[in-house]
Amino acid sequence: MTARKSPEKASPAQASTAKTFPVSWDELHRNARALAWRLLDLKPWRGIVAVTRGGLVPAAIVARELDIRLVDTVCIASYDDRKQGQAVVLKSVAGDGDGWLIIDDLVDTGRTARVVRDMLPKAHFATIYAKPAGRPLVDTYITEVSQDTWILFPWDIDLQYAPPIAGERPTR
């Protein structure tokens, strides 16, 4: 009889996502507008910094709703499909972020958010969705989801058949 090696605990980024949370275009738009409502009276914003690529659509909606015309981007590559790797800064922005609003779709493990936070420490960071591991890095968010949930954004999905949830239960 051979001893079985106990599995190592996976980090949140490596853990398989047991649940999916599909988001429609309508829902994303509604939540981005809700985010704008929360940000409306906080301060007059100098502009928005969208975190590419996921923050581009929410940033456009928030910019429209708050009548902000100055929108810049910070470009960070950290995901390859569903695997999070090292955060690589492709384009940064100058300054410390004072008076600026950072917009992203989601804060997950906080790896990307930490890079942006370090780059723009005085900016206000807002996301539509927040997971527990990254939540402390953002100032404002709309919806919290569990760490083991994979959010399917409308730009990442195609309409097709989905099996019933009950069929995904592990067999006993």
Residues acting as catalytic residues: 104-105, 108
21 vs 170: CA distance, rounded Å: 19
Q: How far is CA 84 from CA 14, 31, 76, 120, in A?
A: 7, 25, 12, 22
149-152 vs 140-144, strand pairing mode: unpaired
The DSSP string of 98-162 is TTEEEEEEEESSSHHHHHHHHHSTTSEEEEEEE-TTTGGG-SEEEEE--TTEEEE-GGG------
Cα 126 → chain centroid: 9
Joined tokens for residue 17? 């996502």
DSSP 96: -
Q: What residues pair up with 101 in beta bridges, in sequence order?
A: 48, 124
